[in-house]
């Protein structure tokens, strides 16, 4: 099922307050899988969102409990985010993740919860006997380590165990019915979904979503995106330091490589990070998204086709709430360490080569800055000496885990899958050695240098309980809060919509041309209402009757919303005509809603508009 996105909300991922939703590149989907061995079952969901928040998970579990009772619970439901940075924010209940999203936005979280629950409902209704096969292979030329300097700080004997400084493994689970017909695929590959960069303002599922789109279109021929029985999910894994921007970081002002240690560039005799950016393999971010997504799709399709290793045995799961701010970790027979109260370091504010910060912070900072420490100290209070000592060598910027490459490599000696960004997001997890370098990932490891050790200790406990059939004896742990009254939204209500004089909503302002060729771009602009009131586009092809050939979920279409003055707005729809498009007659239709006042009461009414009919032909001479 797909999510509706709230326009004008901040995207979640880059923490860029200029990056508000103003259009649609692709739709965002939730894809659910339920595995049942006859006595136990587990649900795995991968959703096209930045990450799963604790609030989203709590609301999903609440909705499932109301519908199914104890069938789906906190111990057998896993929700994972693909980590697209082009989806809505505002679905967290903790301040750290609300700051850049404009607070808690009900119109952001409700579609996420509804979409996830709907996908689980569909999986539940469509359950049938089947088989699962697994396959694993390597995918090269689709990812790089964006903090290689940190990785080199790991022990040499540890690094020599692995081929690369990123995990290039693709794992595929192939789902079939008892007749061998494919019904779905679930895949994991470690790469950030940031091929769409921080200048983008179109909602997008990015490279992982495009991989799903391609395989689902392949397995559901003739169906529109999001329709058809075959479900293809590409899920996040240990992607913390892994970038799809394979051309690496360069200084935009000089064209030279960025500083290796702190990813900065010289600007007027001073070093700055905002001029350092990594670029993908394409000529622009759309092309880079296509290339990386296509690479992932092709490898997964190959592994799916050749998967013969059947997964058998029983289904078991374990869950435990953990207060990560105070975990005691036994390092060896004589040495015990602890995790810390959460805090972000100065290098967090520097951003990454996938999207740098705007202020004068640099990666690799192991000393504070009196100016910024003073400002933050006044606003948030200074960290205690105990907290500063616990986080050393991190200079603390904010008192407040994505997993980096070595962590899964350390625990993958058996067949283990890291389902990243699941259930609750706690920023990054680096090794102890990487933490010492204090690049972005280390500065964002909020529970201190021993975070990885704490997670490994907890994982050992959960795995042991599963292996020894002692899950019921696990302590539940401290239940998280479900905040209600204290949540604040800074997103104002959508205003009344207005239109230019002598026009109507849905009227065409810029009309299409009469004829196009394959490879051209069709563009049409409508008088529009605010898409926060909802809106869709449909591209029709006429044979004997009109038939829908594309929607705003299609890769070939883009929807741009332009907010003008006096509460007026336009919607521009583009169709990038693929080479495979049949010659014939087409039109583009736009459906939306506008808000008007009836007396003093706001009323939301539907409207629709249509372009003129135009032709697509292989030649202008026809």
Binding residues for Zn(2+): 83, 192, 428
Using DSSP bridges, classify how beta strands 169-177 and 182-188 pair: parallel, antiparallel or unpaired: antiparallel
Per DSSP, the three-state class of 316 is coil
- Candidates 441, 270, 439, 259; CA nearest to 363 is 439
Run of H or E residues at 33: strand 28-36
Using DSSP bridges, classify how beta strands 41-47 and 77-81 pair: parallel, antiparallel or unpaired: parallel
Output the CA angle 129-132-136, nearest 5 degrees: 170
Give the tokens for residue 406: 């070595």
Per DSSP, the three-state class of 245 is coil
Q: For residue 209, report the phi and psi dihedrals to the nearest 5 degrees.
A: -65, -35
- Residue labelled with tokens 């057998």: 76
Residue 180 to residues 175, 223, 305, 621, Cα–Cα distance (Å): 9, 22, 12, 49
Residue 201 to residues 17, 34, 204, 553, Cα–Cα distance (Å): 11, 34, 9, 16
Per DSSP, the three-state class of 231 is strand
Q: Would you say 52 and 112 are in contact if contact means Cβ atoms under 8 Å apart?
A: no
Using DSSP bridges, classify how beta strands 328-330 and 144-145 pair: parallel, antiparallel or unpaired: unpaired
Terminus-to-terminus CA distance in the chain, angstroms? Answer: 42
Q: What is the DSSP string of 408-441?
A: HHHH-SSS-----SBSS----B--HHHHHH--HH
Run of H or E residues at 443: helix 440-443
Which one of the listed residues 243, 288, 317, 554 is annotated catalytic? 243
* Cβ-defined contacts of 576-580 (< 8 Å, 24+): 576/521, 577/516, 577/517, 577/518, 577/519, 577/520, 577/521, 577/522, 577/616, 578/518, 579/518, 579/519, 580/518
Q: Would you say 347 and 443 are in contact if contact means Cβ atoms under 8 Å apart?
A: yes
Say if residue 35 is preceded by a cis peptide, omega within 30 of 0.
no
Q: How many CB atoms lie within 10 A of CB 354?
A: 23
Helix boundaries (H) for 444-515: 451-467
Q: How many CB atoms lie within 10 A of CB 194?
A: 31
Per DSSP, the three-state class of 138 is strand
The span from the CA of 398 to the CA of 400, in Å, is 6
The span from the CA of 461 to the CA of 465, in Å, is 6
Question: Taking the mean position of all CA atoms in its chain, how far away is CA 532?
Answer: 21
Per DSSP, the three-state class of 279 is strand
Using DSSP bridges, classify how beta strands 515-516 and 614-616 pair: parallel, antiparallel or unpaired: parallel
Per DSSP, the three-state class of 465 is helix
The span from the CA of 328 to the CA of 479, in Å, is 19
The span from the CA of 361 to the CA of 373, in Å, is 12
The span from the CA of 528 to the CA of 535, in Å, is 9
Per DSSP, the three-state class of 355 is strand
Tell me whether residue 147 is one of the annotated catalytic residues: no
Please identify every residue annotated as catalytic.
Answer: 243
């Amino acid at each position: 099922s797909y999510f509706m996105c709230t326009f004008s909300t901040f995207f979640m991922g880059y923490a860029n307050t200029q990056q508000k939703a103003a259009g649609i590149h692709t739709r965002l989907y939730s894809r659910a899988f339920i595995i049942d061995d006859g006595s136990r079952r587990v649900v795995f969901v991968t959703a096209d969102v930045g990450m799963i928040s604790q609030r989203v998970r709590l609301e999903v579990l609440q909705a499932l409990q109301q519908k199914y009772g104890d069938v789906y619970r906190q111990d057998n439901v896993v929700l994972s985010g693909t980590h697209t940075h082009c989806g809505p924010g505002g679905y967290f209940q903790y301040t750290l993740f609300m700051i850049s999203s404009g607070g808690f936005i009900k119109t952001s979280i409700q579609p996420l919860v509804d979409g996830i629950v709907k996908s689980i409902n569909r999986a539940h209704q469509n359950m049938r006997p089947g088989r699962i096969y697994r396959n694993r292979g390597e995918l090269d030329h689709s990812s790089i380590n964006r903090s290689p300097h940190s990785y080199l700080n790991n022990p040499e004997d540890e690094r020599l165990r692995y081929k690369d400084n990123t995990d290039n493994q693709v794992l595929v689970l192939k789902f079939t019915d008892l007749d061998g017909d494919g019904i779905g695929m679930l895949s994991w590959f470690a790469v950030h979904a940031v091929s769409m960069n921080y200048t983008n303002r179109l909602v997008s599922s990015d490279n992982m979503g495009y991989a799903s789109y391609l395989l689902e279109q392949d397995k559901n021929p003739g169906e529109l995106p999001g329709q058809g029985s075959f479900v293809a999910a590409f899920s996040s894994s240990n992607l913390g330091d892994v970038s799809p921007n394979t051309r690496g970081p360069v200084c935009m002002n000089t064209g030279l490589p960025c500083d290796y240690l702190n990813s900065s560039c010289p600007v007027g005799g001073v070093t700055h990070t905002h001029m350092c950016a990594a670029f993908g393999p394409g000529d622009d971010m759309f092309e880079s998204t296509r290339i990386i997504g296509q690479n992932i799709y092709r490898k997964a399709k190959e592994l799916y086709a050749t998967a013969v290793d059947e997964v058998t045995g029983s289904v078991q799961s374990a869950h435990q709430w953990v207060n990560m701010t105070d975990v005691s970790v036994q390092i060896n027979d004589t040495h015990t360490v602890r995790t810390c109260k959460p805090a972000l370091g100065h290098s967090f504010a520097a951003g990454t080569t996938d999207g740098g910060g705007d202020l004068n912070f640099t990666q690799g900072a192991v000393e504070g800055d009196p100016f910024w420490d003073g400002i933050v100290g006044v606003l948030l209070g200074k960290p205690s000496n105990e907290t500063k000592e616990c986080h050393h060598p991190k200079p603390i910027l904010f008192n407040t885990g994505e997993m980096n490459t070595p962590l899964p490599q350390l625990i993958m000696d058996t067949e283990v899958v890291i389902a990243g960004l699941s259930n609750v997001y706690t920023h990054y997890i680096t090794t102890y050695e990487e933490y010492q370098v204090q690049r972005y990932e280390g500065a964002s490891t909020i529970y201190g240098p021993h975070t990885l050790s704490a997670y490994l200790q907890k994982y050992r406990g959960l795995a042991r309980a599963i292996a020894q059939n002692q899950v019921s004896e696990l302590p539940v742990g401290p239940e998280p809060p479900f905040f209600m009254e204290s949540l604040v939204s800074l997103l104002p209500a959508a205003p009344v919509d207005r239109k230019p004089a002598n026009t109507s909503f849905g009227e065409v302002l810029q009309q299409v041309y009469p004829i196009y060729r394959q490879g051209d771009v069709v563009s049409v602009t409508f008088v529009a209402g605010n898409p926060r009131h909802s809106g869709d586009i449909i591209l029709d092809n006429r044979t004997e009757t009109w038939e829908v050939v594309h929607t705003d979920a299609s890769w070939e279409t883009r929807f741009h919303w332009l907010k003008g003055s006096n509460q007026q707005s336009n919607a521009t729809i583009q169709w990038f005509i693929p080479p495979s498009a049949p010659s014939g007659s087409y039109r583009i239709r736009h459906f939306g809603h506008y808000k008007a006042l009836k007396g003093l009461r706001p009323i939301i009414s539907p409207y629709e508009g249509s372009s003129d009919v135009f032709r697509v032909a292989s030649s202008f001479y026809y």
